[in-house]
Amino acid sequence: MMKGKLKALAVATALLGSAPAFAMATLTNADGSFGNWGGFDWASNGTAVVEGFDATAAVDSFSLTYFAKAEALKDVLGNTIPAAGMFFNTYEYTIRLLLNETSTCTNFNGPICDAADFAITSGSFDIWYDTSPDSVQTTGAGITDGALLISGVLGPQAGGAFDVIDGGNAILQAAITFTNNAFITPDLANSTAATTLQIGGNVTGWAPTSGLPGAGGGTIGLPQDSFQLQADGNQDFTIATVPEPSSLALLGLAITGLGTLRRRKSA
């Protein structure tokens, strides 16, 4: 009998551990609610402004600011969610990402490093939902206004590789620190973004910016020691999962039964 109770407890615990890993978030906007929402496809004409990078150094530290407007909403399988407001520009989603990075040169062309590996030391990002779309990619204006939707932080991680011919790419992991439940439920837990950077002949449909996003939709001037890259990205999210009631009930019954058996044995 004791073995049977232990087996029940083991099965209940296993079920609890496997509960709702594929649960989905619901995103609500002016078009309605989307229960299969998975993330954003950021526009391919996004901008990355690099500040403080020394191209003659073997190892260097610098910062990067990325900003863009969403091109489409994605479901959990990566498919585009039809959203009229995105097409007719009656609302917009915008992002600003701030990164601190280090670079290790992997090839020098004379005194200039033309290929390097990167590591992120820290970072943060914010996403806004704006029903009065006014973002301007070539100035940085209108990026940081509207309702704050999501915030997240990035810890130390690999930042991909980059060279002056092909550009670069990276997979960025982030922990979500804020979810606006007026528009997204339940709370988000993590984010994964696949990113690319283009330079030179690989640049298409992009123009450099004259400023950076400031507070409240405003702008600030470009740093003097900065340069710009075209940036693109796709970002998806996972939710903070909660075990289903049935799994919790099963585990509770197994634990209760085990406790009862122990009391009987002691008696």
pLDDT at position 262 over 80: no
DSSP 31: T
pLDDT value for 13: 44
- Specify whether the CB–CB gap between 184 and 29 falls below 8 A: no
pLDDT at position 72 over 60: yes
pLDDT value for 254: 45
Mean pLDDT of the chain: 87
Q: How confident is the model at residue 145 (pLDDT cuts 50, 70, 90)?
A: very high
d(CA 57, CA 103): 9
d(CA 211, CA 171): 26
pLDDT value for 242: 59
Residue 21 CB neighbours (<10 A):
8
- Specify whether the CB–CB gap between 27 and 236 falls below 8 A: no
Tell me the chain's radius of gyration from C-alpha atoms: 24
Q: How confident is the model at residue 240 (pLDDT cuts 50, 70, 90)?
A: confident
**Helix count (H) and strand count (E) of the chain?**
3, 14
Range 119-147 average pLDDT: 98
pLDDT value for 241: 76
pLDDT value for 255: 45
Cα–Cα distances (Å) from 69 to 121, 142, 207, in that order, read 25, 10, 14
d(CA 151, CA 112): 36
Q: How confident is the model at residue 247 (pLDDT cuts 50, 70, 90)?
A: very low
Report the percent of the chain where pLDDT is more than 90.
78
pLDDT at position 5 over 80: no
Range 226-236 average pLDDT: 97
pLDDT at position 142 over 90: yes
Range 210-236 average pLDDT: 97
* Low-confidence winner among 33-47, 108-122, 145-159, 232-246 (lowest mean pLDDT): 232-246
Tell me the per-residue pLDDT of 175-222, one tens digit each, with 9 for 90 and over: 999 999 999 999 999 999 999 999 988 899 999 999 999 999 999 999
pLDDT value for 245: 54
pLDDT at position 158 over 70: yes
Q: How confident is the model at residue 2 (pLDDT cuts 50, 70, 90)?
A: very low
Tell me the per-residue pLDDT of 51-69, one tens digit each, with 9 for 90 and over: 999 999 999 999 999 999 9
